[in-house]
Structure formats: C-alpha cells, structure tokens
Amino acid sequence: MNLKIAVLAGDGIGPEIMEQGVAVMSAVAEKFGHQVSYREALCGAHAIDEVGDPFPEETFQACKEADAVLFASVGDPKFDNDPTAKVRPEQGLLAMRKKLGLFANIRPVETFECLIHKSPLKDEIVRGADFICIRELTGGMYFGEKKEGTDEAYDTCAYTRPEVERILRVAYQYARQRRRHLTVVDKANVLASSRLWRKVAQEMMVEYPDVETDFMYVDNAAMRMIQDPRFFDVMVTENTFGDILTDEGSVITGSMGLLPSASTGESTPVFEPIHGSWPQGKGLNIANPLAQILSVAMLYEYFDLKAEGALIREAVNASLAANVRTPEIQVEGAPQYGTREVGAWIVDYIRQK
C-alpha cells in the first residue's frame, strides 16, 4: 500500500515521541512492503512562533492531501500563563478538528497487566477494564456560540440531529465489533441538548437489536468508571463530557502515557496520543513514546492492515515485558531507558520478527 502521512509533531515532547513513531511506522512499512512518504507541517505554539498561526493554511493543505495525519501534541506554558494571549496553541488543534470534520474521537481505555499497580484504583477493580470512549469532537460547547464580555460570558452547547446520529452510528459500529454493549452518556435530566441525544439514541437503538443500549447521566458515569470500570464496553458522549471522562479513563488504567487515539470524520483521519505536550519533559529523552507508537498501530489498523498493527502491539508488549521502559513506568532497580532507546528497541524487535 502507498501511504502519504502528514507529520505534525507540535510542541514540548511532541518532536521526540514523533521521531520514534515515524521510525516504527517505517520499520513496519519496510517489513510488509508498504511505501510510506512523510510530509512534516507546523502546528501549535511552534507554528505561532514561526508564522503567527497555530494551524496554518499550508498545514491544512498537507493534512488534506495526506491519507492520514500523525499528530503528537501541542501546548506551551508561555500561553497557559497568559489569559490575554490572542492566539493559543490549542486553537490549532481545534481548527484541525473542525476543518478536517473529525467528528468522531475514538479513545480506547485499556489496562496493561504490568502497569496495573500504577493505577490509583485497587487491582481487583481495574484489572481487565477495557472500553472505548467515542467522543463527539466537532460540536457542543467547544464550537457553539460564545460571548466573552467583561461582566458576562457564555458557551453554548448545541447539537443537531444529524450530528448526533452520525456519532451514534460510529459508536454502534464499534459496539458490534466488541462486546455489543453501548452506554450513551448524557445529562438529559438537566440539558436540552442531552435530551436530543437521548431521543435520537432511543429511536436508533431499534435498528441495532443485537447491541444492548443503556443510558447513563454523566455524573453517574464518572462515578461508575472508578467503582466498576469493567461495566463499560463502548461509551458515546458529547464533546465536553468526553474530554473530561477520557482523562479519568486514561488515569484509572495507570497508563496515561500509553494510550493512543484516533479521530475520524469527513476528511483525513488523525492519530495521536491522548497525553499532552509535557513541556517539563522536553529535550530530556524521558518521555514515553508508546502512546505515539500505538497511535501508529491504530493508523495501520484504520487501513485494515491488521497484521501491521498487531506486530506493533506485540513489540510494545514485549518491550514492557523486557522492562525496556521510560522512567515513569520502570520497575525499581531495573535500568532506565530513554525515549530513543525504547523506540530503537521496538524498531529492532520489528525488524527481527
């Protein structure tokens, strides 16, 4: 297969983990005889510094012309601490989502056996937890009508029926490939937009009799996720709820640095780690590249290249089992490995297979 990849490394640890993601992508391509070409493009704080725009037109073109985007992370403390900043790196991410019509954000929440002890939850509660959060990504408060005055401000949570329908279809498709259990998370006891979600879902569920559909208020879902995370198989929810719940989801598994994600929709799909740009770790060769590398696995799998994805997952698991790990997940007394060393180990594993 020929694959054109737009590479958006962004800020902070982004470029370092991206280097390893690309190396793994190339090693797998070579092994399976795929032709992959890369085109790097600016985004985030980096792009603001260079051209004054966190998602420049040229980057948008590079994304549109690619088969997939490999994205790392954006964000920089110099903007976080300045509420008056006119442009922010995060706007680049939001612009990319909107312009590429990436309405479905797929965030798997899974545990890795060897990292369960890192979870803040008890072993017996979290062990075996394995669900996917499908987060709506181009609607809700993130993109609704806003006012930002000195004495009044608001964000509107608006959804249309087609927007709700299309994300629910994605969720049902995932549920069908998994344990056939879909939880629709909303706040229908309070919010009108949530009542639309629930109404549309209730109408659609009859089309999917093979999937068990249940409904849960978001506050209850936040609680259930820590009490009984194994309850969930596929959950689907609006943008802001999904943002909050997926941070909770990533941390309960003990593997925040290991979780990849995919965003799909009308144009080029984007694959990226769930974690942020971790500016404090920048340049220190300590960032965990696994979420980026697993994002490459998701990329291959998106194009139905299952063996390619499986080989990456196998290599990642082997690196963990061999204790070739970055400092934050290394077991006591074992040697420490850097971002580059973990990446190189995985590349070697793939080449030798």
User: Per rule CB under 6 A, is residue 238 in the interface with ligand IPM?
Assistant: no
DSSP 3-state of 45: helix
Q: Name the binder of 305 from ligand IPM, Mn ion, none, CB < 5-8 A by kind.
A: none
Q: CA quadruple 330, 16, 18, 253: dihedral positive or negative?
A: positive
Q: Minimum CB separation from Mn ion for residue 201, in Å?
A: 23
Instruction: State yes or no: residue 248 binds ligand IPM (CB under 6 A).
Output: no
Q: Is 155 a catalytic residue?
A: no
Q: Burial code of 235-255, b = ≥16 C-beta within 10 A, e = fewer?
A: bbbbbbbbbebbeebbbbbbb
Q: Give min distance, CB of 54 to ligand IPM, in A.
A: 11
Q: Which residue is nearest to Mn ion, using beta carbons?
A: 243
Q: Integer distance in angstroms from the first to the last C-alpha of the chain? A: 20
Report the candidate in 245, 249, 269 with the shortest Cα–Cα distance to residue 259. Answer: 249
Report the residue from 243, 301, 308, 341 that binds ligand IPM according to the rule CB under 6 A: 243
- Which one of 53, 142, 208, 233 is the catalytic residue? 142
Of 136 and 243, the one with the shorter C-beta distance to Mn ion is: 243
- Residue 304 designated active-site: no
Residue 67: which of Mn ion, ligand IPM, none does it interact with, CB under 5 to 8 A by kind? none
Token pair of 250 as six digits: 């990533």
Q: Could you tell me if 215 and 224 are in contact, meaning their C-beta atoms sit under 8 angstroms apart? A: no
Stretch 37-76: interaction string toward ligand IPM, x if CB under 6 A? ----------------------------------------
Strands 234-237 and 68-73 come out as: unpaired
**Whether residue 300 lies in the annotated active site:** no
Secondary structure of 143-189 as H, E, C letters: CCCEEECCCCEEECCCCCHHHHHHHHHHHHHHHHHCCCEEEEEECCC
Q: Min. distance of Cβ 251 from ligand IPM in angstroms?
A: 13
Residues of this chain, 73-102, that bind ligand IPM according to CB under 6 A: 90, 93
Is 243 near Mn ion (CB under 5 A)? yes
Q: Which of 11, 159, 187, 337 is catalytic?
A: 187
Least Å from the CB of residue 45 to ligand IPM: 12
Cβ–Cβ < 8 Å for 260, 288: no
Give the separation between CA 100 and CA 144, rounded to whole angstroms: 17
Catalytic site includes residue 80: no
40 binds, among Mn ion, ligand IPM, none (CB under 5 to 8 A by kind): none
Task: Supply the minimum distance, in Å, between the C-beta of residue 105 and ligand IPM.
Answer: 7
CB of 93 to ligand IPM, least distance (A): 5
AA identity, residue 109: V
Q: What are phi and psi of 340, to 5 degrees?
A: -65, -40
> Of 67 and 90, which CB lies nearer to ligand IPM in the complex structure?
90
Residues 6+ apart with CB under 8 A from 110: 129, 130, 131, 253, 255, 259
* Binding residues for Mn ion (CB under 5 A): 243
Active site residues: 142, 187, 219, 243, 247
* Binding residues for ligand IPM (CB under 6 A): 90, 93, 243
